[in-house]
Amino acid sequence: MSILVNKNTRLLVQGITGRDGSFHTSKMKEYGTNIVAGVSPGKGGQTVDGIPVFNTVEAAVKATGANTSIIFVPAPLAGDAIMEAGEAGVELVICISEGVPTLDMVKATAYLKKKGIKLIGANCPGLITPEEALVGILPGNIFKKGNIGLMSRSGTLTYLMVSLLTQADLGQSTCVGIGGDPVAGLYYQELLQMFQDDPETDAIVLIGEIGGEAEERAAQYIKEHVTKPVVAFIAGQSAPPGKRMGHAGAIISSGSGTAEEKIAAFEAVGVPVARLPIEIPQLIKKLLKIN
């Protein structure tokens, strides 16, 4: 089973005629994702890799029954693109665009939440249910179908962690890159509940990083609502206070958001925390009693 995307996903690509949109559309289609439409204002009637292009999301949804949208438009336009997808009635929006203005994301996330539409990103690598659907920029060849759910604030760490899991013969149910911006859509708590409710996810890997207190809130949520084994890793353990490290949300300030605090929060609720990514597969195997 999977969460969020599967073989029934009918994907449309906003920004399909751009460089990134067209490139990753071909990669997603090659993986087997059911891409039914593209959207690029002023270019309706064209095709990209055999996929019909529409001028608006509304027209694309009406013509093709698309239920999920992925966004590859420039950052200044991404907030409006998210809301256009929500207005058209898709069920899930994944925004890959990086550098989306924070105030635009505040407005867009509130709009989609009000309509009951799920959002992942912005500034995220997307998600994948191995052998069913790839929606994003993840390298599909490293994933293996299985029963480990994964969520991460870091794209590159997602790839590393998945590669380690696959090498250890630990396949994945669904992997979600939530992005590292301070304002984003679905986050740890919502995804933890989805994996908890998924009968084919047996254990969960949570990759966090310094900055904010999302990991601390996740730890408390695990204590109260999650019965499946969870293993965590926190990136940025050697980052100096007051210096932003990579992601816009990865900054330690006012004595909070440190790796030590996040690690302590997880360990306090019984979640083992790997000091190095390479330790994750063995921690999972130990919790699942796999030799």
Between helices 259-268 and 214-225, what is the axis angle to 10°? Answer: 0
Tell me which of 247, 249, 259, 280 is the catalytic residue: 247
Tens-binned pLDDT, residue by residue, of the chain (291 aa): 579 999 999 999 999 999 999 999 999 999 999 999 999 999 999 999 999 999 999 999 999 999 999 999 999 999 999 999 999 999 999 999 999 999 999 999 999 999 999 999 999 999 999 999 999 999 999 999 999 999 999 889 999 999 999 999 999 999 999 998 889 999 999 999 999 999 999 999 999 998 889 999 999 999 999 999 999 999 977 666 655 555 544 444 444 578 899 999 999 999 999 999 999 999 999 999 997
Ordered structural domains, the chain, with CATH = 11-121 (3.40.50.720), 139-288 (3.40.50.261)
> pTM score, two decimals?
0.93
247 is catalytic: yes
The Cα–Cα gap between 79 and 56 comes to 15
3-state secondary structure (DSSP) of residue 266: helix
Residues ≥6 apart with Cβ < 8 Å to 16: 22, 25, 38, 39, 40, 48, 51, 53, 72
Whole-Å CA distances, 263 to 68, 215, 236: 35, 9, 11
